[in-house]
Chain A
Amino acid sequence: MSSRRSHRARRLAALALPALVAGVLASLAGAKSGRETGVFVVGVDGMDPVILRRLMDEGHMPNFAKLASEGSFQSLGTSNPPQSPVAWSNFVTGMNPGGHGIFDFIHRDPATYHPISSATPPAGDPGPALRFFGYVIPLSAPEVRNNRGGTPWWDVLVEEGVDVEVFRIPGNFPTPESEAKVLDGMGTVDVRGGFGTYTLYTDTLVEKDDPKGDVEVVSVQDLDLDGTPDTVSGVLRGPPDQFRLEPGETPGDGDYLTRGVTIHLDPGPGPGPYEGGNGALPTAVVEVAGQRTLLQQGEWSDWVEVPFDVLPMGLMTVRGTVRFYAKELRPRFQVYASPVNVSPSDPAVPITSPDDFVKEVFEETGFFYTQGLPEDTDALNDGVFDDDDYLKQVALVQEDTRRLVDLALDRFEPGDATFVYLSDIDLQCHMLWRHEDPKHPGAPPHPAHDPAVAPKHAGDIESFYRDVDRLLGDVRRRLPPETLLVVMSDHGFQPFTRDVHLNAWLRDQGYLRLKDGKTTGHIVAGDVDWSKTRAYGLGFNGLYLNLAGREAEGIVDPAEAPALLDEIARGLEALRDPANGARVVRDADRADRVYSGDRRAEGPDLVVGYDRGYGCSDESTLGEITEGVIEDNTSRWSGNHLMSPAVVPGILLVNRKLAADGHDLTDLTVTLLSHYGIEARPGMIGEPIL
């Protein structure tokens, strides 16, 4: 609190006059200015207006209903495409993708046709290195930068003297420099540099052939030879061993710093009375880096901070934090370790601006998930978690979120601007929609529906909505009543029942050709004959022309591009699902018609807006050309929003009466500025909603 006040004091001197003028003008106008009231924004990723309306009408969301009746509730236009990194970038910068340059989760490198991260484009030349007793010491560090362009609204507010705190904003990693206090959210990596790799120590194989986590098949040893297996040894991988890797080298499985993990299992009831009582669950002690945690089967540990030695004897360490879950101890053995998060007590990479804001948060809240997408959907998809395991883990994430929201509320003072992000709804809609469609009650079962477990979990998504409602009640109780309160979501949700292999459709239509008479293959594997390919798909909604002068082996004359795009768009919009005759693509938008801004040329040429129930398959998203074009989505990833923006609008609730509707995310950006009497910055395309 004190640092926030000192920041305010510094600003005050420089900005007293404009603030005074603004205050006087606002007083004359009879309204309190943003500098007096402040603004508190609750961003609820994935909250859907149709579901919300139904639950409000049924009386399950009393706090939302109260806010709607006292203020306004309407749908909020999302981004095109309605993907979280894109949508949140719209909200952050007030631009569309043509301005901020984030078009999809996945972009492509026109020089190689390979998919690349939209958040972090490949770093430049890694530079030379010295080799010294087996160590590789880089002589320069390639710049790793955030690809998002534009000016975040918090930077504008801070420049104008407003105290801003932003908690878990998506798409802000790598962390841009800022004087605003910003904690990164979605997109923040774990210590391995990825989006989160779990470890499973198991004595049995998992159901998936290619799990995304580290699955260590272990045996439970009987160290004391008493006939009861008692001890498991495993390895926990930490950050890449940078001093052993050549500059720019991608780490392989053996290129990570590690820590040994020992798990001691209790032998169970002995000859005397067992203190757990009859039927007690087995217990174990997990030991890593000299720290021990005792778990009963089914329990999660607290955070364990683990140092990984970059140099011997602890001369240089990287700290990560991990939680263990004793999924099953006997008779099978399965202990899960979360992805090793960047430690908020001593972060290996900046995850906040200013760099030390994370320590300020840590001192108030203790350890928390710093990983951008903390809900371990990979573990659920891989069958490592069942739904019950997953929900237990989600509850831990919720606890962290609540503590961060509490902290944000504790620190909020009139005149401040604060944003808090809730992931509760989004990932749970992705993963749990298959149990029951909360948007279309009575809809046919999802292809991944399992009648054996569905009844138990049918109401889970609604339960998460109710959790957010309770949180909103707390927020309203604790905020000064005159604070401008905005509750918004980046997009809504729809079922995801059918996978569309866009590249297979392009092949079937003759736009994409493979080499050597192949019918299936992969762009990354070099299977595409670029000399005969006119269009290809990469990313969840992106379709690119193989444009001469832009792509490495481009063949499409730029002059012919508009007509070709119109032709492909018509074809896609005419596509019908052979299984049921339904429309597959609602809108296929030419980028030059929907995007504005300096970075328009970096994005796809056509944005494919799938209709309700349809979405691009993971295979096609990453450049695979499969046999069939449309098939059932049998994955647990069963709800989606990577569709046409028209079918997945978000929500907007404000504790003020709004005169008009039809607002979108970019309108909120300029509203946050105009609330403080600040003009929109060049490139911002929205209009104030108040």
Chain B
Amino acid sequence: MIELYNGASSALFDVVMAPFGHRFPLFDLLLWPVLMGIGALQVYKYVSNQKAIARVKSQISMRLLEIRLFSHDILQVLRSTGGILLRNGLYLGHNLLPLAVMIVPITALMVQLVAHYAYAPSPAGAVELLRVELDPRAGVSSRDVSLELPAGVALDAPGVRTADGQVFWRLRAEREGDHVLKVAVGGETYEKAWAVGGDPRKVPVKRLRSWEALLYPGEPALPAAGPLRSLELAAHTRPLRFLPEGEVGILLWTLVLSLVAGFSLKGLFGVTI
């Protein structure tokens, strides 16, 4: 399921994102949050009960007015306050359906923006740590895990196999390229991509197998029944000059910009929020 979702979103966004290449992050980081805000408005407009929302907001305004007019009557103030709380609950309830409809595409868009723009390829010559985490339920010993390196990647130090089922290798990127590391365990081979040097691009960071894999669509999720819990390489944050950078920076930027766009354009699209 995760695999399907990531695959579909990557298939779509890998085509539509970065039409001018990854050197121009500003285009996508302005366009998509604004489109997301507009899209959310449309979903809101057609999925939510606009009349009910307008009615609830109006009722909340009335109760607020009651509090101002009858501030000398403590019982009325309490009744009005209770009414406001009740209608706030109703208002939130009216938002649940549009939220449920929007959450899937919005999440997909945000993690794709992160995957495309949060990380930079490792520079040639970089030394990074590859971490393999085993599932203790799989009954595989860390001594049974081995690594096959492609040309252009070298082992910088012998690996470390920990007592709690992790294996670490320190690797050195000797050449630019999109390298593929192969981790063999229990008769199976698992691949891990490593982007080294070259132009900015979508950089694979982690392969996971739980719901967290939804956040890392750069590579296929690990098989749920396999012996590996995760395969990850340390990633470099891509500097974005004037924009917030890194995973959190891009997520916040996208969220804030889409909210700004949505609230700014709700009148134009005739949407009651």
Contact = CB atoms under 8 A, between A and B. Distances in A.
A276 interface: yes
A265 interface: yes
11 contacts: A223-B164, A264-B160, A266-B161, A266-B162, A275-B158, A280-B158, A283-B158, A283-B159, A284-B160, A285-B162, A294-B169
A473 interface: no
B168 A292 contact: yes
A168 B187 CA distance: 56
A125 to B, nearest CB: 42
A285 B158 contact: no
A195 B131 CA distance: 36
A597 interface: no
- Going nearest first, the 9 A-B pairs with the smallest beta carbon separation are A276-B158, A264-B162, A223-B163, A224-B163, A266-B160, A270-B143, A230-B163, A294-B170, A296-B157
Contacts of A265: 160
Contact of B129 (A231, A270, A272, A293): A293
Contacts of B169: 294
Contact of B143 (A222, A223, A272, A276): A272
Contacts of B158: 266, 274-277, 280, 283, 296
A462 B169 CA distance: 39
Interface in B175-233: none
Interface in A252-303: 264-267, 270-272, 274-277, 280, 283-285, 292-296, 299
A285 B143 contact: no
Contacts of B168: 264, 285, 292, 294
Nearest to A226: B163
Interface string B134-176: 0000000001001100000001011111111010111000000
A267 B147 CA distance: 17
Interface residues of B, number: 18
A282 to B, nearest CB: 8
Interface string A98-110: 0000000000000
A307 to B, nearest CB: 15
A286 to B, nearest CB: 10
A294 B157 CA distance: 8
Given A223-B163, A231-B162, A294-B168, 7 more contacts: A230-B162, A264-B164, A267-B161, A270-B143, A272-B146, A275-B155, A277-B158
Contacts of A274: 158
Interface in B4-58: none
A301 to B, nearest CB: 11
Contacts of B143: 267, 270-272
Contact of A264 (B146, B155, B157, B163): B163
Nearest to A280: B158
Interface of B: 129, 131, 143, 146-147, 155, 157-164, 166, 168-170
A64 B147 CA distance: 52
Contacts of B129: 292-294
A275 B166 contact: no
Interface in A159-209: none
B163 A283 contact: no
Interface in A222-238: 222-224, 226, 230-231
Nearest to B162: A264
A344 B104 CA distance: 41
Contacts of A223: 163-164
Contacts of A271: 143
A132 to B, nearest CB: 31
The range of chain A's interface size is 20 to 34
Contacts of A266: 158-162
A374 to B, nearest CB: 23
Nearest to A286: B160
Nearest to A223: B163
Q: Most chain-A CB neighbours within 10 Å: which of B146, B155, B159, B161?
A: B161
A267 B167 CA distance: 11
B146, B163, B168 interface centre (most CB from chain A within 10 Å)? B163
Centre residue among A265, A275, A284 by max chain B CB count within 10 A: A275
A222 B143 CA distance: 16
Contacts of B147: 275
Contacts of A296: 157-158
Nearest to B127: A302
Nearest to A276: B158
A230 B170 CA distance: 19
Nearest to B131: A292
Contact of A285 (B146, B155, B160): B160
Identify which of A226, A264, A271, A276 gathers the most chain B CB atoms within 10 Å of its CB: A264
Nearest to B239: A363
A294 B160 CA distance: 8
A549 B155 CA distance: 72
Contacts of B164: 223-224, 231, 264
A231 B163 contact: yes
A196 to B, nearest CB: 27
A83 B211 CA distance: 62
A230 B146 CA distance: 19
A294 B164 CA distance: 16
B30 to A, nearest CB: 25
Listed residue (A226, A266, A277, A296) with the most chain B CB atoms within 10 angstroms of its CB: A266
B164 to A, nearest CB: 7
A312 B166 CA distance: 29
Nearest to A302: B127
Nearest to A266: B160
Nearest to B234: A292
A582 to B, nearest CB: 53
Give the one of B129, B161, B162, B168 with max A CB within 10 A.
B162
B162 A275 contact: no
Contacts of A277: 158
Contacts of A270: 143
Contacts of B131: 292
B168 to A, nearest CB: 5
A283 B155 contact: no
Nearest to A296: B157
Contacts of A222: 163
Most chain B CB neighbours (cut-off 10 Å) among A280, A294, A295: A294
Contacts of A230: 162-163
Nearest to B155: A275
A518 B169 CA distance: 62
A276 B163 CA distance: 19
Contacts of A280: 158
Interface in A583-616: none
Contacts of A275: 146-147, 155, 158-159
B88 to A, nearest CB: 28
Nearest to A225: B163
Contacts of A294: 129, 157, 159-160, 168-170
A264 B162 CA distance: 6
A280 B170 CA distance: 15
A305 to B, nearest CB: 13
Question: In the complex, which of the residues A222, A231, A265, A285 has the most CB atoms of chain B within 10 Å of its own CB atom?
Answer: A285
A501 to B, nearest CB: 49
A285 B129 CA distance: 10
A264 B164 CA distance: 9
B245 to A, nearest CB: 13
Contacts of B163: 222-224, 226, 230-231, 264
B147 to A, nearest CB: 8
A442 B160 CA distance: 49
A220 B27 CA distance: 54
Nearest to A363: B239
A470 to B, nearest CB: 23
A54 B164 CA distance: 59
Contacts of B146: 272, 275
Nearest to B169: A294
User: Which of B131, B158, B164 has the most C-beta atoms of chain A within 10 angstroms of its own C-beta?
Assistant: B158
A558 B157 CA distance: 70
A465 to B, nearest CB: 31
A267 B146 CA distance: 15
